[in-house]
Amino acid sequence: MINSILSDIKRQKPLILNLTNYVTVNDVANCILAIGASPVMSDDLRDAVELAESASAVNINIGTVNRRTLRTMLKTGRTANKFGKTAVLDPVGCGATKFRTDACKKLISKVKFDVIKGNMSEIKSIAEVFCKRKSVQKSAGISCDSDIASEKSFSCDAGHTFGVDVNFSDAITEKNLLQNISLVKQLAQKLNCIIAATGKYDLVSDGDRCFVISNGNEQMEKICGTGCMISGMLGAFVSCCREKKLEAVAACISAMGIAGEKEGKIIDNLFCMTDDILESEAKYEIK
């Protein structure tokens, strides 16, 4: 992956602006601090837009989105693009309701994200929205001239996200691994960004290569907010290594998985994480 990425984060101490949900906001801030970056949280329009100009990255998480905060997210994301800052989207619950799905549609259409990270149901829901449309989203650099859902290699049955959790039928398993790798690769190509689908296996692709990561354990699914923590950390990892964004995303997700495998609290384990631990204990293949 990237041998010095944690050291780089600690040295640069990037400022990560989070427009995130209020359920996990404290854990997100503490994870960002644990890896050596600096978190700031805001959902006020004027405040967030101003912060986006000086932050290294903007993390947009729609876990508790409403009409007011969606407007803030759109304006802040566009400001991040204007000033060349890293932008991350966590499409929490996309596919569970029309409002959440429409919110993701607006955000992805109007903001150029470096990374979109979600569970497999959320990722399938995004593919359903953007890859059955015969149009070009010029503002976000999205080309959807082909129908991803018509590919014989997999089915794209979106709209069944189970609240904010992955639908059981969408979970990434050994049996459907190749199909999901194909979907993630094609969606990354269509949206011109890194797509990260998390689960038993984490899939991270830039449209060409795909990291298949197997760190972590099943108990992490029972801890509220681990996905939100990852999206906050992604801003730090990617902003400190923009020339290797794919590897940075894979390193971030591997770090969270390794922290979950060890005894003790995840945040404490992230604080104690080193480049050597990350490099030696990350479990992945590249497809």
Asked, for residue 66, whether it belongs to a domain, the answer is yes
pLDDT tens digits, 99-148: 999 999 999 999 999 999 999 999 999 998 887 644 334 434 444 444 44
Asked, for residue 201, whether it belongs to a domain, the answer is yes
Asked, for residue 138, whether it belongs to a domain, the answer is no
Asked, for residue 82, whether it belongs to a domain, the answer is yes
Scan for tokens 């979109």, then name that residue. Answer: 116
**Domain count of the chain?**
1
Q: Which CATH number goes with the domain that contains 167?
A: 3.40.1190.20
Q: What is the mean pLDDT of residues 273-287?
A: 95
pLDDT tens digits, 231-244: 999 999 999 999 99
90 burial type by CB count under 10 A (0-12 exposed, 13-18 middle, 19+ buried): buried
Domain that holds residue 241: 5-133+143-286
Asked, for residue 186, whether it belongs to a domain, the answer is yes
**Cβ 106 vs Cβ 74: under 8 Å:** yes
Q: In sequence order, what DSSP letters do the residues of 187-253 get, joined into one string?
A: HHHHHTSEEEEESSSEEEESSS-EEEE--S-GGGGGSTTHHHHHHHHHHHHHHT-GGGHHHHHHHHH
